[in-house]
DNA sequence: AGTGCGATTGACT
DNA sequence: GTCAATCGCACTA
């Protein structure tokens, strides 16, 4: 498993969201290494009313405006941290939300962090994903394509068919088909109906 | 300074 | 299946 170069990342938000399915997310901390296959993403594109960059750059969302391949981490509902990958050129605000992982390495550590043994629940859902991976607000702005502790890696195995659906949990722009997932993967979140869609 | 609400989760019927 | 918890942020005044 090797680090993905920035030049390998598609320079378009939707293409990147699809591209990241099957790739790996790795985090190395003092507790150990955790990694997982990315099995579900959502694109938050330029001009998207549901995107955090829609009203321009602020202190909170500035990482979304970094060139592609940087982490944007934010706190939501007073409960969860969510991880995005910035997706456009510097100064343009857009990103890809990582919604679910299939655990690969450090499963015991993930179980400890999540307080459950169920593999299927370790990183199914964007808030659970960050807990399992030990990702927090301190990782906001991290470059995922440099030699840092948090990085994107090449696929651990072949990627299955990629499905498309509407995004989950939003009210604005709710009918856009900007959610991507590996079909028939049990670590994907969402309802059966959503995940049947091609 | 006050207010409304959100890219969720876990508990509960 | 439904629903409350919880708090930082952005917007209004």
What's the number of CA atoms in the CB half-sphere (13 Å) around residue A134?
21
Nucleotide nearest to A98 (CA to C1'): B7
Check residue A25 and give its pLDDT: 98
Check residue A198 and give its pLDDT: 63
Check residue A50 and give its pLDDT: 97
Tell me, in Å, how far CA of A62 is from C1' of C5? 28
Tell me, in Å, how far CA of A51 is from C1' of B7? 8
What is the gyration radius of the CA atoms in chain A, in angstroms?
15
List protein-proximal bases of chain C (any atom < 7 A from a CB): 1, 5-11
Cβ(A43)–Cβ(A168) under 8 Å? no
List protein-proximal bases of chain B (any atom < 7 A from a CB): 6-10
Check residue A193 and give its pLDDT: 81
Share in percent of chain A as helix, strand, coil (round to 5): 20, 30, 50
One digit per residue, the tens of pLDDT, for chain A of length 198 reads: 899 999 999 999 999 999 999 999 999 999 999 999 999 999 999 999 999 999 999 999 999 999 999 999 999 999 999 999 999 999 999 999 999 999 999 999 999 999 999 999 999 999 999 999 999 999 999 999 999 999 999 999 999 999 999 999 999 999 999 999 999 999 999 888 888 766
Cβ(A132)–Cβ(A121) under 8 Å? no
Nucleotide nearest to A51 (CA to C1'): B7
Q: Where are the alpha helices (DSSP H) in chain A?
A: 13-19, 107-114, 119-122, 126-133, 192-196
Tell me, in Å, how far CA of A26 is from C1' of B1? 43
Footprint of strand B on the protein (CB under 7 A): A 42, 44, 50-53, 64, 72, 76-80, 82, 84, 95, 97, 114, 121, 125-129, 167-172, 189
**Model-level pTM?**
0.97
Nucleotide nearest to A167 (CA to C1'): B7
Nucleotide nearest to A62 (CA to C1'): C9
Nucleotide nearest to A52 (CA to C1'): B7
Report all structural domains of chain A as residue ranges with CATH numbers, in order of start. 6-196 (3.10.300.10)
């Amino acid at each position: 498993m090797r680090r993905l170069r920035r030049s390998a990342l598609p320079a378009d938000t939707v293409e990147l969201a699809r591209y990241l399915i099957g790739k790996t997310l790795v985090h190395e901390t003092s507790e150990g290494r955790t990694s997982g296959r990315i099995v579900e993403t959502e694109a938050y594109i330029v001009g998207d009313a549901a995107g955090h960059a829609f009203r321009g750059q602020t202190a909170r969302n500035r990482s979304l405006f970094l060139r592609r391949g940087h982490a944007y981490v934010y706190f939501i509902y007073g409960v969860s941290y969510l991880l995005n990958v910035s997706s456009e050129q510097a100064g343009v605000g857009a990103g890809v939300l990582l919604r679910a992982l299939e655990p690969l390495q450090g499963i015991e550590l993930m179980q400890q962090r999540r307080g459950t043994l169920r593999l299927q629940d370790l990183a199914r859902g964007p808030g659970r994903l960050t807990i399992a991976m030990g990702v927090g607000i301190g990782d906001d702005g991290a470059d995922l394509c440099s030699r840092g502790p948090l990085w994107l890696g090449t696929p651990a195995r072949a990627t299955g068919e990629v499905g498309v659906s509407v995004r989950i949990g939003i009210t604005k722009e709710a009918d856009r088909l900007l959610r991507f997932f590996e079909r028939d993967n049990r670590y994907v979140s969402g309802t059966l109906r959503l995940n049947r869609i091609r």
